[in-house]
Chain A
């Protein structure tokens, strides 16, 4: 332990020493912050990131991969349990990945995770990814399914809705609560189709019934049953001249819907991502 005796020192010396200590402390703070910052950067370039895929992210058996440390151990365990339940109930492999340093578009990363999991023989019929990137303060949801029945899929509109529902908790740093919202909404909308929704079925049924019933009620009074065929007599009637001259042909082409989504492998299936910032 070094003892310093300021008493016997002259005033200019004291001043110089105080200045030195202050400067030293300031430098220490600066260096300390610098060191702390350099700890976050695990990869220097994007290429490096892509060349070192995190096996954990892409492993179909891992559901929560919290590299950014957004959840406590208890929360992470709870989310993992929820992922398991969701996967069993909906036949959709659900995964939550957080990162501190990823520098690419979050939606692309979520898609990459989905693709890699499928390559790694993910057995579920659909894959649902929540990806949180603390570096860009971005998060994304990616939904993918094997066939085009929509049974394991969350549509664009609903993905956007989930992103916006999570928004306030994400901004406030309540990452666990945001994840709960993610589960709640996804549970509601995975495999959601308009047909099969009671309100939609009933509206369609009422509209079609009205189209059938009103003319039927009006027809109770009897209706016109003659047409031109009853009064036009053939021998005196003729098309005296007719021409059907070909002019031109136009062809328009549209890329088929089912092949969108940008997926390698497997026909039919589709996927899509939605993302936002917080």
Chain B
């Protein structure tokens, strides 16, 4: 099933418009409110409220049983083998009838002959159906403007990079993510020390007060995102956070119209170790916040038990820039909701040297100033 929305007014292909959040006809400007449209994939089975932002405990899902947990962590069945992933699939363009061949993971693309947007509904069913989508909020034009702003701030890049870099490719893409809801329970113990310094007479005193510190915690973590695409660099995807989940929409195909989208390469179980590591780190940070009144805490002992409570398959919007500068390609990724840009621009050695020397000069000047003020001679 290839889904292609034609304008009822003029027959042109409708695409998702980030500015209005509606399905829009680029030729005649007529719009369609997506939440009013019927879901072509049918009604989703069980759609809760958007649990990632709901802070009301009433929606707190049941924790896994210990058995379920074991099963969850140990079962490492891949939904798709790498072979599947590389397998190519055919379909026909509903607009021009051309036979199109794509990677099996592609769920939304443009016809390479007539450029009509195509959403491949067959690949969005069952386990492959996203729960939510975060629609594009930054349009292509805005993305260029935002990126130029970012380039101006890349003050360690050569000045020429701003003028002579050639934009070779700018593509809007929905990236598959898993959002996790996790429970972290555990206990922490340690020796807390409060240090105080004071002086009396001819002596300096250091007072150390020792405490036995104990914390039992129950942490509710919601919406930790992990990208599920092989192609995307994990570190880059992590740096694109945060996403504002208030703007998540129940998944529907029109949100994809006009953008590229691929389904996940890893399922939530395969990615669990990554999110678990983050949850552990966050648990430690949370406990550290709760013992921040101590100067230091030693003899730390912490037991953390992380349990998954719910996972959702979600599509997140990004803009990918490919710039060519002096024969080299530079990739940049933009969070298409917030405009945050991640990517390494070319670095000007001269500018870094100038920066280095300026700081050094300031420091030498300040030290000389201190020296002169305290009675030293200028040279």
Residues on A facing B (Cβ under 8 Å):
149, 151, 191, 193, 195-196, 201-202, 204-206, 208-210, 212-213, 216-217, 220-228, 230-256, 259
Question: Are A205 and B57 in contact (CB-based, < 8 A)?
Answer: no
- Which residues of B sit under 8 angstroms from A232, Cβ to Cβ? 219-221, 282, 286
B241 contacts across to A, CB distance below 8 A? 224-226, 230
| 9 nearest A-B pairs in the assembled complex, by CB-CB distance | A236-B220, A196-B371, A228-B282, A222-B342, A205-B363, A241-B216, A221-B344, A205-B360, A243-B214
User: Residue A251 contacts which of B199, B207, B368 (CB distance < 8 angstroms)?
Assistant: B207
A246 CB contacts on chain B under 8 angstroms: 209-211
Cross-chain contact B285 with A220 (CB below 8 angstroms):
no
Closest to A248 in B: B210
B375 at the interface (CB under 8 A from A): yes
- A247 and B211 in contact, given A149-B374, A220-B154 (Cβ under 8 angstroms): yes
Sample of 14 A–B contacts (CB below 8 Å): A196-B376, A202-B364, A205-B360, A205-B367, A217-B352, A220-B156, A245-B212, A248-B210, A250-B210, A251-B205, A251-B206, A253-B203, A254-B203, A256-B199
B242 contact set on A, CB distance < 8 A: 225-226, 230
Number of A-B contacts (CB under 8 A): 183
Residue B215 CB within 8 A of the other chain = yes
- The CA of A92 and the CA of B1, in the complex, are separated in Å by 97
Q: Is the CB of A228 within 8 A of B214?
A: no
Contacts of B144 in A (CB 8 A): none
Q: Does B158 contact A (CB under 8 A)?
A: no
Q: Among A209, A221, A248, which residue has its beta carbon within 8 angstroms of that of B356?
A: A209
Bound Cα distance A201, B57 (Å):
59
CA distance A246 to B359 in the complex (A): 46
**Judging by beta carbons under 8 Å apart, are B285 and A228 in contact?**
yes
Rounded to whole angstroms, the CA-CA distance of A203 and B196 in the bound complex is: 33
Contacts of A252 in B (CB 8 A): 205-206
Which residue of chain A has its CB nearest to the CB of B351? A217
- List of A residues within 8 angstroms of B65 by Cβ: none
Q: A246 → chain B, closest Cβ, in Å?
A: 6
| 8 Å CB contact of A236 from B60, B213, B282, B340 | B60
Question: Is B261 an interface position by the 8 A CB rule?
Answer: no
**Chain B positions within 8 Å of A213 at CB level:** 352, 355-356, 359
Residues on A with beta carbons closer than 8 Å to the beta carbon of B368: 196, 201
Q: What string of 1s and 0s marks CB contacts (under 8 Å) between B194-210 and chain A?
A: 00000100111111111
Name the distance in Å between B343's Cβ and chain A's nearest Cβ. Answer: 6
- Sample of 15 more A-B contacts, CB < 8 Å, known A213-B359, A230-B242: A208-B360, A222-B343, A225-B241, A225-B242, A227-B285, A232-B220, A232-B286, A236-B219, A240-B218, A241-B215, A242-B215, A244-B214, A246-B210, A247-B212, A251-B207
The answer to whether A250 and B208 touch (CB under 8 A), given A195-B371, A213-B356, is yes
The reply to whether A249 and B209 contact each other, CB–CB distance below 8 Å, is yes
- Complex Cα distance, B357 from A270, in Å, reads 38
Q: How far is the CA of A242 from the CA of B294 in the complex (A)?
A: 14
Q: Contact: B219 with A151, CB < 8 Å?
A: no
Contact (Cβ within 8 A) B223 A223: no
Shortest A258–chain B CB gap in Å is: 9
Q: Are the CB atoms of A208 and B220 closer together than 8 Å?
A: no
Contacts of A223 in B (CB 8 A): 239
Q: Is B224 an interface residue (CB 8 A)?
A: yes
Q: Are B56 and A231 in contact (CB under 8 A)?
A: no
Compute how far the CA of A30 lies from the CA of B376 in the bound complex, rounded to whole angstroms.
60
Q: CA A244 – CA B376 in complex, angstroms?
A: 51
Residues of A within 8 A of B219 (CB): 232, 236-237
Contact with A along B314-347 (1 / 0, CB 8 A): 0000000000000000000000000011111101
> Max chain B CB contacts within 10 Å: which of A149, A222, A231, A243?
A231
Do B216 and A240 touch across chains, with their CB atoms under 8 A apart?
Answer: yes
Query: Which chain B residues lie closer than 8 Å to A247 at the CB level?
Result: 191, 210-212
The 8 Å CB contact of B210, one of A206, A237, A249, is A249
In the complex, the answer to whether B355 meets A216 with C-beta atoms within 8 Å is yes
